[in-house]
């Protein structure tokens, strides 16, 4: 399971590098006020804060249950029951059980199977019927949680006058068990969690000042692939009117769709549940900590199933390109050098590779046989130019295959971007100057603190730059403008084909604090070669 061993660790380390401690809310100034909202499930008590001196106030409601607890393991969630109780919503709720690797940045905050909580960030303004932005976090569907400082929606809400909602959902075996004993429409519990959270928003967001008809779903990485699934296997009635996909789509993955069932079989065997009259019941009786340990030790990767409800067998890229997706406006894009995040932890090994064969073997182990085979010629040609050149070439090609090209196709009204912002404090944790690696480019997830305005979390490495601050303001406004009026777009030209300068480059050299247009045809040059690869060899989830 190379995917778990070589990809999950670097992604998890970076995505969690800002997440400690989790159970204490971020150090925003509290006003001592106690905002409250009355819902059918009870009275929700939050906290009023300001994100910085002079900023508008934000009411934060953290750790609000959106499902009936306790949850039944591997089962679909049930709506939260009506109640007259008072719910103190001042801290993030427990995260769902993660499949992570040990490391210096391990998040030791509370995790639980009873983890279906959401957070609502409400601007302190008096206007009603605000636009709502519903965030879905990434993590390869193996880890992640909504209660990370990087995802704090208070800055977004304060400065853009939108309501931000983020919700936990189950991942790894707890969210995507692949048990053959489950009804097919129950096998993607994690996606059902997301849908129940969206139902909660539809039923309750008016009480917070939001408009349930103005919901935009947005996510990054596997959060964006979740958005893609919500587009290509849409719920009815539709709980959103627009979608933003940051660095992710659901058609192409480095994980094999067969991994999920193989992992379930392996787990059942290691738990000595094989041969039981019901393997599912047997696994349900095992302590969650033991299951988590086995998943980690055996590097088991659990992938979604084609359940006919949350995920269809038809490739999502084909559904989007042929108009068989929810007919809503889309903002979609990727980062300049996504895959550098995945390859960086192994740069020293690449540096020591002396032959093209060794470099190819390295590429296959990092990226999988299918992707590495497709770029073999490029690997061979670039090896002689040195490790840094090979690293950058591999990162670019893998970025195109896994992110840029597969997400570029849609018949929906679409606005497109390329994020290319690089700043000293975001580069600092990843560069290796002693080996000549002085930049890793705009890596996977590096746009998140810019979009959320949480870039100050990186100031432990270096001060924020004026360009970084300006770019964050620009992107927050663009995302919010799109959510407020999707058909007008984020502030640049809508895509009308593959020709013309109609892709927004965010953080490019000539405007590092804002936007410039770039040629879509030039940006997608590699896609002319890559697109047939999708249709011939893509793992169809």
Q: Which residues have a catalytic role annotated?
A: 221, 338, 444
> Could you give phi then psi for residue 354, rounded to 5 degrees?
-105, -15
Burial of 63 by CB count in 10 Å (0-12 exposed, 13-18 middle, 19+ buried)?
A: buried
Is 38 exposed, middle or buried (CB count within 10 Å of its CB: 0-12, 13-18, 19+)? Answer: exposed
Residue 243 sits at φ, ψ, to 5 deg, of -145, 140
Cα three-residue angle 448-319-211, rounded to 5 degrees: 55
What is the Rg, in whole angstroms, of the alpha carbon atoms belonging to the chain?
A: 22
Which residues lie below 8 Å from residue 377, measured CB to CB, with a gap of 6+? none
Confirm if 137 and 98 have CB atoms less than 8 A apart: no
Query: Helix, strand, coil % (nearest 5) of the chain?
Result: 40, 15, 45
As a whole number of angstroms, the distance between CA 418 and CA 424 comes to 19
How distant, in Å, are the alpha carbons of 107, 239, 435 from that of 346? 23, 42, 12
| Intra-chain end-to-end CA distance of the chain, in Å | 17
């Amino acid at each position: 399971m190379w995917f778990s061993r070589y990809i999950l660790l670097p992604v998890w380390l970076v995505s969690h590098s800002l997440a400690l401690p989790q159970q204490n809310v971020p150090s925003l100034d509290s006003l001592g006020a106690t905002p409250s909202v009355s819902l059918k499930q009870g009275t929700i008590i939050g906290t009023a804060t300001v994100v910085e001196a002079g900023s508008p106030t934000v009411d934060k409601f953290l750790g609000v249950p959106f499902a009936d607890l306790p949850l039944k393991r591997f089962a679909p969630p049930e709506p939260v029951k009506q109640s007259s109780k008072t719910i103190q919503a001042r801290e993030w709720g427990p995260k769902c059980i993660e499949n992570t690797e040990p490391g210096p940045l391990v998040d030791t905050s509370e995790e639980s199977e009873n983890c279906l909580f959401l957070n609502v960030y409400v601007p302190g303004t008096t206007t009603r019927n605000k636009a709502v932005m519903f965030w879905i976090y990434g993590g390869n569907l193996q880890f992640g949680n909504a209660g990370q400082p990087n995802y704090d929606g208070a800055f977004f809400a304060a400065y853009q006058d939108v309501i931000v909602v983020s919700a936990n959902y189950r991942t790894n075996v707890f969210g995507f068990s692949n048990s053959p004993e489950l009804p097919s429409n129950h096998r993607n519990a994690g996606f059902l969690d997301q849908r129940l959270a969206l139902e909660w928003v539809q039923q309750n967001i008016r009480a917070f000042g939001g408009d349930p008809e103005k919901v935009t779903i947005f996510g990054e990485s596997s959060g964006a692939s979740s958005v893609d699934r919500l587009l290509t296997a849409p719920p009815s009635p539709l709980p959103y009117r627009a979608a933003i996909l940051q660095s992710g789509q659901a058609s192409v993955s480095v994980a094999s769709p067969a991994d999920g069932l193989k992992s379930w079989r392996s787990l059942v065997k290691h738990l000595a549940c094989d041969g039981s009259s019901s393997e599912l019941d047997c696994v349900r009786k095992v302590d969650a900590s033991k299951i988590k340990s086995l998943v980690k030790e055996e590097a088991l990767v659990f992938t979604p199933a084609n359940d006919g409800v949350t995920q269809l067998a038809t490739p999502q890229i084909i559904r989007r390109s042929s108009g068989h997706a929810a007919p809503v406006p889309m903002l979609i894009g990727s980062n300049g050098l996504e895959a550098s995040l995945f390859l960086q932890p192994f740069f020293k090994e690449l540096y020591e590779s002396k032959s093209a064969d060794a470099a190819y073997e390295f590429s296959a182990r990092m990226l999988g046989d299918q992707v590495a085979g497709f770029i073999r010629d490029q690997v061979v040609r670039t090896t002689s130019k040195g490790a840094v050149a090979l690293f950058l070439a591999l990162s670019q090609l893998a970025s195109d295959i896994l992110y840029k090209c597969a997400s570029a196709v849609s018949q929906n009204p679409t606005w497109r971007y390329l994020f290319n912002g690089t700043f000293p404090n975001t580069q600092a944790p990843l560069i290796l100057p002693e080996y000549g690696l002085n930049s890793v480019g705009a890596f996977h997830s590096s746009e998140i603190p810019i979009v959320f305005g949480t870039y100050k979390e990186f100031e432990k490495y270096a001060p924020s730059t004026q360009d970084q601050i300006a770019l964050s303001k620009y992107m927050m406004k663009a995302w919010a403008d799109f959510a407020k009026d999707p058909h007008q777009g984020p502030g640049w030209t809508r895509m009308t084909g593959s020709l013309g300068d109609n892709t927004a480059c965010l953080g490019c050299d000539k405007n590092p604090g804002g936007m410039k247009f770039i040629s879509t045809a030039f940006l997608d040059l590699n896609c002319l070669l890559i697109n047939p690869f999708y249709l011939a060899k893509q793992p169809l989830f």
